[in-house]
Structures are given as structure tokens and as C-alpha cells.
Amino acid sequence: MLLQQPQESPYDLNFQLFGFPIRIAWTFWLGAAVFGWGLVQLFDSMEGSPGRLPLLLLWALCMLFSILIHELGHAFAFRQFGIESSLVLYHFGGLAVPRSTHNYGGFASSFSPPRLSHGAELWIALAGPLAQLASAAVVVAAVKAMGFRITAFALMPYPLDSLPGVLEGNDFDSVGMIALVTFYVWPSVLWAVLNLIPVFPLDGGRIMRSLVMMGGGQTDTWLWISMIIGGACTMYGFSSGNMFLGILFLSLAVGNYQMMQGSARY
């Protein structure tokens, strides 16, 4: 997901992976705890639960790996086009921030990475959700090969809860193993699907923008599409009692409206 980068803090965790600087903001752990608390309570109510604290830690680590893979998908796609990026994980998920360009023997710092084609922007936006879904597919395939069911899909909305074969098989004997698979597959699938909704600046919105512009459309065309879909998602979120979804898409729709007002002045 490509939104606004949070300010740095002395409590952030910084490291490098595959040559990409990665910062995990302290708010990431807070956001993970809030989003996963209901799921943690569900598994803690099962007989044989290892306890809320271990489950919460397991959830946070699964979220970390899932979102990191998503952002690495964006980062490797940027690299394909000669642009290096840094990754930030925070309470709203993650960011892939372009930071430099290739310059033959090394890297040249650049606050304004080169303008990419609409096709390149489409691939970069798509690469994150694809990487995340692919990682979930690997876990699902491995678990199914061992003869176990994927409980995570029973907790997903229709039609994901009706995918053929995923709920067939035996349950793991360990609550911890059921939680491990669920805690990785559930957010990996839903986070990727959420990001593919065509509302800017979500990945799906960027994909939609690229397709519209490649088809000869104008800026106001994709902004209108984004606002309409964002408004529909807002109404769905509030009407279904999902306040997070409603507030998220309301803020995105308002942001799109402000962008349209700004572009109309020029």
C-alpha cells in the first residue's frame, strides 16, 4: 500500500534486506495488536490455547512477514526499472518509497525518480499484492499437501469462504499450528484483496489509473472512478458495521475529491 510515510522515531526498528533499507515504525506493532485482537481472542477461547500473549506475538510476526513480502514485491518491481526504494512498515500497513536511481556503476541519490510509463506503474502497483497472494498460496498448497484444512478461509467473507477444497481435510492437533496458518493466510489474502480495490492511492487505484491513462483517458476520469468506488465502499463499511473499512474509504474518497479540486484549478 502506498500512502503517507510516518515520521521517524527512536523506537523504530531499522535493518536492510536484499539491499533495501527497511524501517518498522513502533506504530506497526500497535496497529497489529488492534487489528488482530479479535482473532487472537477467538483462538485463545479454544481448548489447548497457548495463551493470549503468545498468540498476539505470533499474529504480529505473521503480519510483519506478510506485509514485508507485499512491500518487497513493490520494491523489486521498482528495481526492474532502475529505481531503488526503502520500505516502511507502520500502523496502516506498509510503504515502498522510491529513493534513488541506478547510475551505471552505482546509485545516484534522487528526490525525483524518473517518470515511469503507465505500463511500468501498473506492474509496480500489481507486484505487491501478487507477491503477498503468492506467499499465501505457497502456505495453502503446503498445508493441503499434508492433508489439513485451511481454517483461515472459514473466517473470510464470501466468496473467499466458498473456495473449493480449502476447508476439506483434518485439523491440526495443535491450536498453535492452526493459529500460525490462519494468522498468515488470513491477512495475506484479505490485505492483498483490499489493496486491489480500485480506489487511489491503494494499489488497485494505481492499477486503474494506469489502465485509464493507457486507454487515452484523462486525470478526472480515473479520479471520478476512484471517488465513486470509494463512496460505495464507505457506505458498505458503515452499513455492515465495519467502522475501520468505512473510515478508511471515506478518507480516501475525500482525498480523491481534494485532488480533483486541485487539478481543476490548473
Residue 2: its pLDDT value, please? 43
In this structure, are 83 and 142 located in the same domain?
A: yes
- If DSSP codes are grouped into helix, strand and coil, which group holds residue 126? helix
In this structure, are 98 and 190 located in the same domain?
A: yes
In this structure, are 81 and 169 located in the same domain?
A: yes
In this structure, are 141 and 253 located in the same domain?
A: no
Q: Please choose, from the candidates 2, 15, 31, 10, the residue with its C-alpha nearest in 3D space to the C-alpha of residue 94.
A: 2
3 is a domain residue: no
Cα–Cα distance for residue pair 185/134, rounded to 1 Å: 10
**Tally of domains within the chain:** 2
Give the end of a domain, one of 168, 197, 226.
Answer: 197
Global confidence as pTM = 0.90
In this structure, are 76 and 185 located in the same domain?
A: yes
Cα–Cα distance for residue pair 72/94, rounded to 1 Å: 10
In this structure, are 188 and 223 located in the same domain?
A: no
Residue 80: its pLDDT value, please? 95
Cα–Cα distance for residue pair 57/72, rounded to 1 Å: 22
In which domain, by residue range, is 161 found?
13-197
CB 140, CB 156: distance < 8 Å = no
Residue 99: its pLDDT value, please? 81
Helices (H) and strands (E) counted in the chain, each on its own, are: 7, 5
The set of cell numbers assigned to 109 is 541519490
Q: Please choose, from the candidates 173, 177, 91, 191, the residue with its C-alpha nearest in 3D space to the C-alpha of residue 135.
A: 191
In this structure, are 147 and 238 located in the same domain?
A: no
In this structure, are 158 and 255 located in the same domain?
A: no
212 is a domain residue: no
Tens digit of pLDDT for each residue in 93-130?
Answer: 899 999 865 433 333 334 455 678 999 999 999 999 99
Low-confidence ranges of the chain (pLDDT < 50): 1-2, 102-111, 266
Tens digit of pLDDT for each residue in 49-84?
Answer: 999 999 999 999 999 999 999 999 999 999 999 999
Residue 121: its pLDDT value, please? 95
Q: Tell me the chain's radius of gyration from C-alpha atoms.
A: 20
